[in-house]
Amino acid sequence: MTVDLSVDLCGVRLRTPVLAASGCFGFGREMAGWVDLAALGGIVTKSVSLEPRRGRPTPRMAETPSGMLNAIGLQNPGVEAFCAGDLKFLAGAGATVVASLVGRTPGEFGRLAERLDGEPGVALVEVNLSCPNVEHRGEVFATDPAAAAEVVQAVKRATSTPVLAKLTADVTDLVAVARAVVDAGADGLTLINTLLGMAVDTGRRRPRLAAVTGGLSGPAIRPVAVRCVWQVAQALPGVPIVGTGGVVTGEDAAEFLLVGATAVAVGTGSFINPRAVVEVADGLERYLADQGAGSPAELPALFKAER
């Protein structure tokens, strides 16, 4: 059985449905010795803001059962340094680049999208909505359908590049947020960002992270992420979804594709194995062949919702 791994994500042809997730692959430079950047489905960059950010104090990471907590604090060099250096590097390496944007107001998101519009090498834009809205008491954009939609509208007005809205599962009604951002013009969704967590160093009787709380990622969150993709795919059929959360093997990727994702992104998996993005794609190819499927797009039709 010959398998064609390529997929269409919001009108962009990806070589494979396996991307590197934001914040877990830097801007590709450190990983170039391990993998051929051009062979990946795509690289979602670390989220980029208008101005450089130094991030949170250390310790910023803590290992937890089947996962980890992080509170990096969106450290990044700012959009000008990104365009002058990292983006040129990635484009030169032949990578399919998904530029992740982070702002403090809808206006900041719009300015970022405008700055990147027309920059050669950006295939898609991902809007990181898991950050505080400074105009609204620091409430995370993705927890409020109206605030999330306002950001997406600002970004869509400023760019002709397809836009993915990245949502959090830390909400009561994810479908309501997903519907709001799709109505606001999002071309696709990335589900999910990390889940808010906390771990305590019992010997020292203190939080393990300097920021006290942080984002939980890795295989521990995969069932939550799969559930989110399933619920949203059922409610909004036809909306492309990038499933994210605990993908470390080809079978993990297949779980997401079976329940309706178009692609997946590997985050924490790259910290365990720098070649994870490639190996997940290889594993998925073997899985598809075993299942008699010629392409990833055939998987949802093979899924049986009843046990």
Ligand X SMILES: Cc1cc2nc3c(=O)[nH]c(=O)nc-3n(C[C@H](O)[C@H](O)[C@H](O)COP(=O)(O)O)c2cc1C
Closest CB 199 distance from ligand X, rounded Å = 14
Q: Fill in the amino acid letter for 301.
A: A
218 binds ligand X (CB under 6 A): yes
| Kind of pairing between the strands at 42-44 and 97-101 | parallel
Closest CB 212 distance from ligand X, rounded Å = 17
96 binds ligand X (CB under 6 A): no
Among residues 268, 276, 280, 293, which is the contact residue for ligand X, using CB under 6 A?
A: 268
Distances (CA, A) of 240 to 8, 60, 182, 259: 9, 32, 10, 12
Closest CB 269 distance from ligand X, rounded Å = 6
Give dist(CA 91, CA 93) in Å, integer: 5
Closest CB 6 distance from ligand X, rounded Å = 22
- Which residues, at least 6 apart from 253, have a Cβ–Cβ distance to it below 8 Å? 17, 18, 243, 247, 264, 280, 281, 283, 284
> SS3 of 67, please?
strand
Give dist(CA 205, CA 295) in Å, integer: 51
Given the complex with ligand X, which of 159 and 268 has the nearer CB atom? 268
Closest CB 279 distance from ligand X, rounded Å = 14
C-alpha closest to that of 208 among 59, 55, 72, 57: 59
**Subset of residues 54 to 93 that bind ligand X, contact rule: CB under 6 A:** 70, 72, 74
C-alpha closest to that of 99 among 39, 170, 163, 186: 163
> SS3 of 121, please?
coil
Q: Fill in the amino acid letter for 216.
A: L
Given the complex with ligand X, which of 24 and 151 has the nearer CB atom? 24
Give dist(CA 270, CA 248) in Å, integer: 8
Backbone angles phi, psi at 132, to 5 degrees: -75, 140
Give dist(CA 87, CA 102) in Å, integer: 16
Helices vs. strands in the chain: H and E counts, helices first: 10, 18
Retrieve residue 203's tokens. 């010997």
Among residues 193, 231, 249, 262, which is the contact residue for ligand X, using CB under 6 A?
A: 193
Which one from 10, 24, 131, 228 is the annotated catalytic residue? 131
Given the complex with ligand X, which of 18 and 182 has the nearer CB atom? 18
194 binds ligand X (CB under 6 A): yes
Given the complex with ligand X, which of 96 and 100 has the nearer CB atom? 100
- With CB atoms as reference, the residue minimizing the distance to ligand X is 23
Contacts with ligand X by CB under 6 A: the residue count is: 25
Among residues 103, 246, 250, 260, which is the contact residue for ligand X, using CB under 6 A?
A: 246
Contact characters 130-169, ligand X, x per CB under 6 A? ------------------------------------x---
- Reply yes or no on whether 131 is catalytic: yes
128 binds ligand X (CB under 6 A): yes
Given the complex with ligand X, which of 125 and 293 has the nearer CB atom? 125
Given the complex with ligand X, which of 89 and 271 has the nearer CB atom? 271
Q: Would you please indicate which residues are annotated as catalytic (active-site) residues?
A: 131
Q: What are the residues binding ligand X (CB under 6 A)? A: 21-24, 46-47, 70, 72, 74, 100, 128, 166, 193-194, 217-218, 221, 244-247, 266-269
